[in-house]
Structure 1
Amino acid sequence: MSPGDRDYQGYGDHPEPGQTRTRLPDPDPYGGAPRRPQRSSSRSLITVVGVVILLIAAIAFANRGGGEGEETASTKADRPESAATAPTGTKPVTSNPGTIPSGFAHTPQGAQSAAANYAVALGSADMFTKPRRDAVLQAVMAPSRVAGSETAFDKAYTPAFAKTLGLNDDGTAPKGYTFVSRTSPIGTKVTETAGDTATVEVWCSGLLGLAGENSTNPVTNSWFTITMKLQWVAGDWKIDTHSQKEGPAPVPGDDRASSSDEMSKAVDEYGGFTYAR
């Protein structure tokens, strides 16, 4: 995971550390003038019959299928659609438990799968310790970007920063505490493709904090979008540059916050996923 409020320090080429008022109708819409006479019962009957006919016609239209022009261009434009793990029949990723997936297809689908999995890796607790962080960067970055990324992240993930999260100087959790740093992709979008490059946006939710009794940095949730420019290098997608912005964030719900013990147990018992489209 990344430093503070899910702000990935070291990302890219340059690191960066009702009220509702309801208007009720006037009880006398004619301002005191004599009320209009009641409609005849026959007219009321005609009105009811007309409404029923309109409803039947609307239902029939809604259920009609196969015809062209049933939806306007505005209803179809940019409509996001869910996709199966391998809709083309091609296995999109190969991975072993505990490793970062690799072997993505040289397609927009493969680029989205790569970006989602790389977002998980860059947002993991492994990023807070030097040896594991270097291993992550070597796995997800383009070879020409590895050295620069290591330098940038080393400047961001300092012992001083670790202390602000309640961690030891080396980025590990103190005894009796569980450090939580997880990123969960919610969706992906390809914004540009050109031969051996692709730009992908990954909308994410993240957890960050220290679970344990008397923790001054409890686990909190955040929402953010990561943009990755990927290169096709040596038969796989790798990150060339990446950046992050806040949101989109939903309105917080009314869920009860879990205790530190419940959160620690959840982190230990629930593993992560491999993401693919």
Structure 2
Amino acid sequence: MSLGDEPGYGDASRGEDGGYGGSGQTRTRLPDRPGDVYGGARRGRSSSRSLVTVVGVVVLLIAAIAFANRGGDDPSSGNGDSDKAKTSPTAASGSRPVESKTAGIPSGFGHSEQGAQSAATNYGVALGSTGMFSTEQRHAIVNAVYAPDVAAARQPDLDKAYSSEKFLTNIGLNKDGSAPAGQTFISRIIPVGTKVAASTADSATVELWYTSLFGLSGDGSTNPVSESWYTTTYQMKWINGDWKVTDFTQKDGPVPVGRDQTASTADDMTKAVEEYGGFTYAR
């Protein structure tokens, strides 16, 4: 077991030997010219009032047609929408979300496919967080997320990997895992969707598709915050009244086409991460 097997670790910087920490690979593309972080030419923007007017008319027309075709408010007339909601992998289940936590991580998930998806997603968020770089928090996360026997087996290897001076140096952190003065360490997973690939009464295979942010925000950062996309497949088992992870695999993507947007400044990125908290996923 190595750190490269942990979800979220694949977002780290390239090591000195040219390899990557995780099974997913993240490439940092250097700017081709000043002011363009991602390189390449930028598209011009049109400010034509006539174009704005035409777009506005089209939007209003579409809205009017949609309103005219809407059914009544009678629930019986919305069977089609109801069926779509039931088959949607991220539709609300109608069950109350969990109200308990273990080591700050939601726990006590429902004994159902929806409960397994919620558990896998929340566990993925925890495993990809900055808490994994603190010994105390890492132990709490691993014990809360994994099945007891799996947690005991993984813990020693995780401790060794996350305390590796070479690894910490490669991603720009100090030897104790802290960020350099004036910089903020960011490691966050943002779930996009889940699906159950297989399930039985007490087990489930859950696929979590997510985007992640990883790096150091601040002046002088050698590992600026970048975005990556992965899908992690979790093997879940119902143990002692809750879902626990027994194993997982990770792969790149699906990766969307990036838009032509200007990267934010280090100050803006730091402020956003400090002001916007992460999500607790439930359905």
Q: Does 1:118 align with 2:123?
A: yes
Partner Cα separation in structure 1 for residue 119 and residue 136 of structure 2:
22
Task: Please tell me the residue identity of whatever aligns with 2:134.
Answer: T
Which runs of structure 2 are paired with 1:91-240 in the superposition (5 Å)? 91-95=96-100, 99-157=104-162, 158-240=164-246
Query: d(CA) in 1 for partners of 2:143 and 2:103?
Result: 15
1:116, 1:265 → 2: CA distance? Answer: 25
| CA 1:63–1:242: 2 relative to 1, 3 Å | same
In the alignment, which residue of structure 1 is the partner of 2:64? Answer: none
CA contact (8 A) 2:101 2:107 kept: no
What letter corresponds to residue 208 of structure 1 in structure 2? F
How far apart are 1:156 and its partner, in Å? 2.8
The 1:237/1:172 distance shift into structure 2, 3 A limit, reads same
Q: Name segments (4+ residues, structure 1) moved above 6 Å.
A: none
Query: Hey, what does 1:22 align to over in structure 2?
Result: none
Percent of aligned pairs sharing the same letter = 50
- Counterpart in the other structure of 1:83: 91
1:116 Cα offset (Å): 0.7
Go from structure 1 to structure 2 and tell me whether the alpha carbon gap of 1:98 and 1:229 turns closer, same or farther (over 3 Å shift). Answer: closer
Give the letter for the 1:144 counterpart.
Answer: D
Q: Which consecutive residues of structure 1, in runs of 5 or more, have no partner in the other structure? A: 12-61, 71-75
Rounded to whole Å, the distance in 1 between the matches of 2:96 and 2:253 is 31
Deviations 1:32-67 (A, max 9, x none): xxxxxxxxxxxxxxxxxxxxxxxxxxxxxx999x9x
Q: Which amino acid aligns with 1:198?
A: A
CA RMSD of aligned residues (A): 2.9
Q: Scaled by the length of structure 1, what TM-score is found?
A: 0.71
d(CA) in 1 for partners of 2:273, 2:124: 18
2:226 counterpart letter in structure 1: T
Task: Provide the rounded CA distance (Å) in 2 between the counterparts of 1:199 and 1:9.
Answer: 21
| Mapping for residues 232-251 of structure 1, pairs under 5 Å | 232-251=238-257
Size of the aligned set, in residue pairs, is 217
- If you compute each CA radius of gyration, which structure gives the higher value, 1 or 2? 1
State TM-score, norm by structure 2.
0.69
Provide, for residues 139-172 of structure 1, a one-character-per-residue CA deviation record: whole Å limited to 9, x for no partner: 1111111111212322432221011111011211
Query: Tell me, what secondary structure is at the counterpart of 2:279?
Result: coil
Point out where structure 2 has 5 or more consecutive residues left out of the alignment. 1-6, 13-19, 25-68
Contact in 2 for aligned 1:9/1:153 (Cα 8 Å):
no
